[in-house]
């Protein structure tokens, strides 16, 4: 579809933080996305988790970065931590906003 092709060629903003009001959206993570920032949960992630680090944890992108799709998810009563793809996420209790991350397919 032409509309989808045009959207995939549009500039992609840097991932700066989760916004439930804007989700779903696509953003770009830089190289070194596996460092810094806190991550709570193992998918879904708490709304205040670092988007790019969560994306590496989820396997959506490598540590060298890439584009991700961020989708809002319901808040959870609890979030389990885990170690995946070189990133360790933490456990957390109830949090009112969550998100999921997925890779953006190359066109």
Domain count, the chain: 1
**CATH number of the domain within which 78 lies:** 2.170.130.20
Q: What is the pLDDT at residue 5? A: 38
For 74-83, give one letter per residue: b (16+ CB within 10 A) or e.
eebeebeeee
Q: How confident is the model at residue 12 (pLDDT cuts 50, 70, 90)?
A: confident
Q: What is the pLDDT at residue 23? A: 83
Q: What is the pLDDT at residue 69? A: 96
Q: How confident is the model at residue 9 (pLDDT cuts 50, 70, 90)?
A: low
Question: In terms of residue numbers, what domain contains 68?
Answer: 2-103
> Is pLDDT above 90 for 55?
yes
Strand locations in 30-94 (E): 45-46, 66-76, 83-84, 87-88
The reported pTM is 0.87
Answer with the residue of higher pLDDT: 1 or 25: 25
Answer with the residue of higher pLDDT: 76 or 22: 76
Determine the average pLDDT of the residues in 24-40: 93
Q: What is the pLDDT at residue 45? A: 98
Neighbours of 18 (CB within 10 A): 24
Q: How confident is the model at residue 2 (pLDDT cuts 50, 70, 90)?
A: very low
């Amino acid at each position: 579809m032409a509309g989808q092709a045009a959207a995939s060629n549009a500039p992609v903003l840097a991932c700066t933080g989760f916004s439930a009001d804007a989700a779903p959206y696509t953003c770009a993570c830089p190289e070194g996305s596996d460092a810094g920032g806190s991550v709570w949960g193992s998918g879904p992630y708490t709304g205040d988790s670092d988007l790019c680090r969560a994306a590496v944890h989820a396997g959506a992108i490598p540590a060298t970065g890439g584009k991700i799709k961020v989708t809002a998810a319901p808040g959870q009563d609890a979030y389990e931590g885990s170690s995946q793809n070189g990133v360790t996420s933490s456990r957390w209790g109830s949090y009112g906003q969550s998100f999921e991350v997925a890779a953006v397919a190359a066109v």
